[in-house]
Chain A
Amino acid sequence: MSNKSLLRINNLQAGVEGRAILKGINLEINAGEVHAIMGPNGSGKSTLASVIAGREGYEILGGEIEFRGEDLMDMEADERAHLGLFLAFQYPVEIPGVNTTYFLKSAINETRKARGEKELDAVEFLKFIKSKAKLLDLPEDFLKRSLNVGFSGGEKKRNEIFQMAALEPVMAVLDETDSGLDIDALKVVANGVNQLRGPESAQLVITHYQRLLDYIVPDVVHVLHDGRIIKTGPKELAHELEDKGYDWVIKEAEQPA
């Protein structure tokens, strides 16, 4: 495993409307690693994902986020995406009248343009996209339907993974992608993430349950509670949490050292 740092978060504090949600997050993810963040509801998991991706509406109260050596704080969400950051949404949005193919073509070509690469023409793009759809076993009509409109929960999550596969991000953040999925859909999601794994990329999997981590085996597991990472451990930590719940970690963290 290389030790090239991809994402470095230093004492990140953020909140909404004057209420602090993240209270000093420190996290470093190197190329080639898969990290999992687990935690009870309301611990700040989704806020962390949103702040990394550059969603508006959060107040950054302090700290830094660096991605591939660049300061993310001054960057718009689309610029962060061009750098190779991808967020799989917990609740993917619907865009009526815009089909998935067209949406992805814009996304990929705007990204290529920003990186100084040649844009794909219609033929090249269709070939590329069909090969990706095949990889994930997606039915072809998926590509023609309006983006996420009338999709079931499982289909929306599959679409997120499909877009991720097509955009080939350096770093993918999955925000509770497993919520509401049956076991087959879960395997599709895991399969998509595992195909992205490589020495140059990294993944951050945010989840409430250990179940997904049976299929996406993380290198490191963090426990988030009340806006702080209170414990970090190897993959076995996820199993321990599944067996014993979060209470013991929280108690352990609250005890004075």
Chain B
Amino acid sequence: MQARKSAEQARNFSQCDSLLIGDQCGAHTFPYIEVKNTTASVEHEATTSKIGEDQIFYCNQRGISTQDAVNMIVNGFCKEVFRELPMEFAVEAQKLLGVSLEGSVG
């Protein structure tokens, strides 16, 4: 994120959320912020969450398989972002996600 000298009253909010799948991964986020105008207001937020065994068991208990549960949880997580994408890409992104998640659990 860069706010140039002439960017009077610039406003920025960056959000960076990570969802961890499995116990072999981690998340590192590097927000890069460069502000050259003192009237700019810049915010950054980062969260890391994990697909919990509790969530999977809850889904399983309702009859949803582990594979479908993971798909559902990840899609729910990404929905906010997908909503902002152009229609064609949103559909594609969802399919890609489905493919890349296959076999990631169990």
Contacts and interface: CB of A to CB of B under 8 A. Distances in A.
Interface of A: 53-57, 76-78, 80-82, 86-87, 89, 92-93, 95-98, 102-104, 106-108, 110-111, 114, 146, 163, 167
Interface residues of B, number: 23
A103 B72 contact: yes
Contacts, number: 74
A95 B55 contact: yes
B90 interface: no
B64 A78 contact: yes
22 contacts: A54-B60, A55-B57, A56-B57, A76-B60, A77-B60, A77-B61, A78-B60, A78-B61, A78-B65, A81-B61, A81-B62, A89-B61, A95-B59, A95-B72, A96-B77, A97-B76, A103-B72, A107-B62, A107-B63, A110-B68, A146-B76, A163-B62
B18 to A, nearest CB: 13
Contacts of A89: 58, 61
Contacts of B80: 97
Contacts of B63: 78, 81-82, 107-108, 110-111, 114, 167
Contacts of A96: 76-77
A216 B73 CA distance: 34
B57 A106 contact: no
Interface of B: 52-55, 57-66, 68, 72-73, 75-80
B48 to A, nearest CB: 13
Nearest to B72: A98
A129 B58 CA distance: 20
Most buried by A among B52, B59, B79: B59
